């Protein structure tokens, strides 16, 4: 298989259309067999549930080329089960978890020429998504659905890659206490668009959202969870029922404890204590581990001691170990790596 001629090392986080994608449809209570198709267009009725009441959920994962030339993906079983949770919360039929993994494998295999080479710093972003497709005008769930997966080769999510970013404490809330913050629903991202445009206009890379009820506790950003490193080398990460249960964060907690011999605390994190941490970072599939150098809270600057020029040393160790596992340089815990071809 010949790789595409792309400038792999200079890719941003954007959409590059590839030749193949996966599609399966749900009708009369059953999912179709599912197949690879070349058609990137989705044509739906004007009244489709997804257009009227935003009935759509999605996932984000990556495929990598390992040093010895295999194509692998990372913990797809967790994306399959999180997508099932998302679907249940939005009254959508679950796309069976085994079928999800098989669909990911088929889609990546069909696009193997687009999986960036080892060492390029790029990866193949995989976007499974699902939507209500039949006409719905009274507020109720659709009866028919489409599940699709497309892929796109990507570089770093934040410009500058491993350079620390500055973020702001948002005046907007991302998720309500009993809302949908813990699932990956398109609606969570739609309502974050105004906040991210505002943050970008003010020169910030992202928003730090606080808990909507008390506005005193750290939740997450628009597209990643937080990790913090204490001055005595503990990993602290916010616990909340209204943040997305990040697979990267769960993996980093394991890596910190079992590979780096660190203590790990998943607990409520007060905004007021952030100034006492030694390092801060964002974690997610797209963000990987992105260092945060500065957090601005309405004119008050919280400058992390790790600074704005380089990733802090502990964040770097976490980053190196996690990406080493994902790219096959470091032995992975049982079941974390799914070989595709
Ligand atoms: N939080 C939000 C809001 C996200 O969109 C993402 C990205 O998927 C994450 C956290 C990180 O989750 P994961 O590590 O599973 O990609
Ligand atoms: C991901 O990390 O996969 C996401 O879905 C986050 C998004 C901001 C790209």
User: pLDDT tens digits for the chain (341 residues)?
Assistant: 789 999 999 999 999 999 999 999 999 999 999 999 999 999 999 999 999 999 999 999 999 999 999 999 999 999 999 999 999 999 999 999 999 999 999 999 999 999 999 999 999 999 999 999 999 999 999 999 999 999 999 999 998 888 999 999 999 999 999 999 999 999 999 999 999 999 999 999 999 999 999 999 999 999 999 999 999 999 999 999 999 999 999 999 999 999 999 999 999 999 999 999 999 999 999 999 999 999 999 999 999 999 999 999 999 999 999 999 999 999 999 999 999 99
Task: Write the CA distances from 145 to 53, 57, 76, 121, 209, integer angstroms.
Answer: 14, 11, 22, 36, 32
Task: Write the CA distances from 151 to 21, 87, 127, 278, 300, integer angstroms.
Answer: 7, 21, 6, 36, 40
- Do residues 20 and 37 lie in contact, with contact meaning Cβ atoms separated by under 8 Å? yes
Q: Whose CA is nearest to atom 9 of ligand 2?
A: 286
Respond yes or no: is residue 184 known to be catalytic. yes
- Do residues 254 and 190 lie in contact, with contact meaning Cβ atoms separated by under 8 Å? no
CA of 79 to the centre of ligand 2 (A): 12
Number of C-alpha atoms within 13 angstroms, CB side, residue 284? 20
- Do residues 162 and 319 lie in contact, with contact meaning Cβ atoms separated by under 8 Å? yes
Check pocket membership of 238 for ligand 1, CB cut-off 6 A.
no
CA of 62 to the centre of ligand 2 (A): 10
What is the predicted pLDDT for the residue at 165? 97
Of 86, 285, 319, 325, the residue with max ligand 1 atoms within 8 A of its CB, to mutate for a pocket test, comes to 285
Of 13, 57, 58, 60, the residue with max ligand 1 atoms within 8 A of its CB, to mutate for a pocket test, comes to 60
- Do residues 59 and 83 lie in contact, with contact meaning Cβ atoms separated by under 8 Å? yes
Check pocket membership of 246 for ligand 1, CB cut-off 6 A.
yes
What DSSP string runs through 242-287? TS---HHHHHHHHHHHHTS---EEEE--BGGGGGG-SEEEEEETTT
Check pocket membership of 284 for ligand 2, CB cut-off 6 A.
yes
CA of 281 to the centre of ligand 1 (A): 13
* CA distance linking residue 239 with residue 220, whole number of Å: 10
* CA distance linking residue 267 with residue 306, whole number of Å: 22
What φ, ψ does residue 48 adopt, rounded to 5°? Answer: -55, 145
The catalytically annotated residue of 168, 184, 217, 317 is: 184
* CA distance linking residue 322 with residue 258, whole number of Å: 12
* CA distance linking residue 281 with residue 48, whole number of Å: 39
Check pocket membership of 314 for ligand 2, CB cut-off 6 A.
no
Check pocket membership of 223 for ligand 2, CB cut-off 6 A.
yes
* CA distance linking residue 24 with residue 275, whole number of Å: 48
Q: Which atom of ligand 2 is nearest to the CA of 286?
A: 2
Q: Whose CA is nearest to atom 3 of ligand 2?
A: 60
CA of 286 to the centre of ligand 1 (A): 8
E strand or H helix at 98:
helix 97-110
Check pocket membership of 60 for ligand 2, CB cut-off 6 A.
yes
What is the predicted pLDDT for the residue at 162? 86
């Amino acid at each position: 298989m010949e790789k595409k001629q792309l400038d792999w090392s200079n890719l941003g986080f954007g959409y590059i259309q590839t030749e193949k994608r996966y599609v399966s449809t749900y009708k009369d209570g059953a999912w179709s067999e599912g197949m690879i198709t070349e058609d990137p267009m989705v044509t739906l009725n004007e009244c489709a549930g997804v257009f009227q009441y935003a009935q759509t959920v999605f996932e984000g994962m990556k495929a990598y080329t390992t040093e010895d030339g295999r194509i692998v993906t990372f913990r797809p079983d967790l994306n399959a089960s999180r997508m099932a949770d998302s679907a249940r919360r939005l009254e959508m039929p679950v796309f069976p978890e085994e079928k999800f993994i098989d669909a990911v494998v088929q889609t990546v295999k069909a696009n193997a020429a687009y999986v960036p080479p080892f060492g390029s710093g790029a990866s193949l972003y995989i976007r499974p998504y699902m939507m209500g497709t039949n006409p719905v005008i009274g507020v109720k769930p659709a009866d028919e659905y489409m599940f699709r997966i497309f892929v796109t080769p990507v570089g770093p999510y934040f410009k500058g890659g491993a350079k620390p970013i500055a973020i702001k404490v948002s005046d907007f809330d991302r998720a309500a206490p009993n809302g949908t913050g813990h699932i990956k629903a398109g609606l969570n991202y739609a309502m974050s668009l105004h906040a991210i445009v505002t943050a970008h206009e003010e020169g910030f890379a992202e928003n730090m959202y606080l808990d909507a009820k008390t506005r005193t506790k750290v939740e997450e950003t628009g597209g990643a969870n937080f990790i913090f490193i204490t001055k005595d080398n503990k990993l602290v990460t916010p616990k909340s029922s209204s943040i997305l249960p990040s697979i990267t964060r769960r993996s980093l907690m394991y890596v910190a404890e079992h590979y780096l011999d660190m203590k790990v605390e998943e607990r409520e994190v007060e905004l007021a204590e952030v100034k006492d941490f030694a390092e801060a970072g964002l974690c997610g599939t797209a963000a990987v581990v992105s260092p945060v150098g500065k957090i601005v809270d309405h004119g008050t600057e919280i400058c992390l001691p790790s600074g704005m020029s380089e990733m802090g040393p502990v964040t770097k160790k976490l980053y190196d170990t996690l990406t080493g596992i994902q790219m096959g340089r470091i032995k992975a815990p049982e079941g974390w790596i799914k070989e595709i071809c």
